Amino acid sequence: AQSVAQPEDQVNVAEGNPLTVKCTYSVSGNPYLFWYVQYPNRGLQFLLKYITGDNLVKGSYGFEAEFNKSQTSFHLKKPSALVSDSALYFCAVSASGGSYIPTFGRGTSLIVHP
Amino acid sequence: AAGVIQSPRHLIKEKRETATLKCYPIPRHDTVYWYQQGPGQDPQFLISFYEKMQSDKGSIPDRFSAQQFSDYHSELNMSSLELGDSALYFCASSLGRVNTGELFFGEGSRLTVL
């Protein structure tokens, strides 16, 4: 079975500082990894994904994520946080040879302080 | 660009009543997913449809049923509602059942059971 762990319920960062939201995964087969963002009372929006190739993936709104196979991690990063980045972030995984239905983590609330 | 449309956005029901949620996927998307997100919870996969046939089944209660129609829209029918059914229900769509593809989510339907 595939699973995702987001170890932090909440991440606090000052505006202008770099941010990291952590995600680790467990799958059989090659992982396909995704990050989604959810603003209050809104649906999830796709940010970026890793399928294959370069371990550093760039996505929407200046976000990027680094795939680390040895650590089974896919942390979300941004060099300079904005107050408008405050939202709920979900990591998700599917796998080659497995279900195409992505499994989501429990989410991490990112709060960017002015 | 057209997005996933869900209706109604908000619904209030009494215990033991029934409710129907509707989802209109992005044009040309042939796969529809239903997720349930309880307060402070990650989205839980309920059921999916591909080309109007049930494709995968997750943690959908027996009291719930769903179908996808010829125009690819989907409806989630919930009967004998319980307090614990109060949640945000998301519909998502994709083009094909592809492990590497992102899902496109609607804004969600918030069901409150009193």
Give tens-digit pLDDT for A15-36: 999 999 999 999 988 899 999 9
3-state secondary structure chain B: CCCCEEECCEEEECCCCCEEEEEECCCCCCEEEEEEECCCCCCEEEEEEECCEEEEECCCCCCEEEEECCCCCEEEEECCCCHHHCEEEEEEEECCCCCCCCCEECCCEEEEEC
The residue of B31, B37, B102 whose CB has the most chain A CBs within 10 angstroms, and thus the best one to mutate to test that interface, is: B102
Q: Phi and psi dihedrals of B63, rounded to 5?
A: -75, -10
| B41: nearest CA partner in chain A | A106
Contact status, residue B45 vs residue B32, Cβ threshold 8 Å? no
Q: Phi and psi dihedrals of A83, rounded to 5?
A: -55, -35
Q: Name the average pLDDT for chain B.
A: 93
Q: What integer is the mean pLDDT of A65-84?
A: 97
Q: How many residues does chain B have?
A: 114
Q: Which of B37, B92, B1, B14 is nearest to A41 (CA)?
A: B37
**Cβ contact B108–A46 (<8 Å):** no
With contacts defined as CB-CB under 8 Å, which chain B residues touch A98? 99
Q: Is A96 on the interface with B (CB under 8 A)?
A: yes
| B44: nearest CA partner in chain A | A104
**Cβ contact A49–B102 (<8 Å):** yes
- For A108, the token pair is 């991490």
Smallest Cβ–Cβ distance between A104 and the set B43, B101, B107 belongs to B43
B77-112 residue pLDDT tens = 999 999 999 999 999 999 887 777 889 999 999 999
- For B48, the token pair is 């999916």
> Does B1 score more than 70 pLDDT?
no
Q: What integer is the mean pLDDT of A32-43?
A: 90
Q: What integer is the mean pLDDT of A26-49?
A: 91
**How far is Cα A61 from Cα A79, in angstroms, rounded to an integer?**
11
Smallest CA–CA distance, residue A26 to chain B, in Å, is 15
Smallest CA–CA distance, residue A17 to chain B, in Å, is 26
**Cβ contact B43–A44 (<8 Å):** yes
pLDDT of res. B40: 82
Q: What integer is the mean pLDDT of A57-83?
A: 96
